[in-house]
A = this chain, B = another copy of it.
C-alpha cells in the first residue's frame, strides 16, 4: 500500500499504550494526539478503561477515546505494522538501534505512506519490558536530564506526536511545492513593509529633528548616527508604522516650533 494523499499519513501512525495504570494518562494522551492530528489509539490491557477521568482529561479529544481499540497483547496491537518504534528512557542490557525524537518523527512520517507505523509506550512505573522492546525496530530515547529523565507517559506521547507533526508539515510543504518554509512562519503581516527609500526618507527626517533638538551635533554626528541607522535597520517597520513615526516627527517640529529655526 502506498498512500498518495499526504493527509492520510497521520492516520497511518498509531499510538500504542501498554498496561497503562492511571486512566488520566490515557485521557491526556488522547488530547496530546489530537492536538497534533493523530487519531489512532490502541490500548493494550489498560487497568481502567473507559473512565470518567480519562474523558475529563481528554477535553476536546473524547472522540479518540471512543474510537480507541482495546487489545489483549502488544502483538495484537502491532500485527499489521511495518515499522514499530518503542519509547525507552533507559539504556538496556542489549544495545538496540536508538533514535531520538527528531529521527522518530522523520522516520514515522516517511514510512507511514507505505505501511502502518506504531509508536509504543510502556507502563508508568517501568516502561516497556525487554521482550516488548525486542519487538521494536528502533528504540526512541528522548534526550532528557540525566539526573531526572522520567517523563510522564502522556508527555512523551505529546513530544513524539509533535515531532511527527513537524516532519509531516515539512513533507506536506515539499509535496505541495507551495511554501518554501514551515507554514507557521509564513503568517502574513497585515501591512506591506516600508521600502528602502521610505526608510532613507525617514532617517533623514529623524536626523534633521535630532539636530534641531540639539541631541546630536550636526558637525560631528558620526558615532551616534551609526547607532541610529543600526537601530532603524532592526526595526523594519511596515508602511503604517512608518507613517505614524513620520507623524510624530512632524508633530515635534510643529509643537516645538522647530521647523526652519535653529
Contact = CB atoms under 8 A, between A and B. Distances in A.
Interface string A83-106: 000000001001100111111000
A150 B59 contact: yes
Contact of A248 (B35, B189, B213, B258): B213
A227 interface: yes
Interface string A219-251: 000001001100100111100110010011001
A31 B219 CA distance: 44
A148 B224 CA distance: 47
A187 B98 contact: yes
A35 B256 contact: no
Report the interface size class on chain A.
35 or more
Tell me the interface secondary structure of chain A in the complex: helix
Nearest to A256: B256
A111 B61 CA distance: 37
B158 A143 contact: no
A113 interface: no
Contacts of A61: 148
A98 B150 contact: no
B251 A224 contact: no
A28 interface: yes
A71 interface: no
Given A60-B150, A95-B189, 20 more contacts: A28-B152, A32-B151, A32-B155, A34-B148, A35-B145, A35-B155, A36-B144, A37-B144, A94-B190, A95-B187, A95-B190, A141-B184, A143-B166, A143-B184, A151-B158, A155-B158, A224-B244, A234-B235, A235-B235, A255-B256
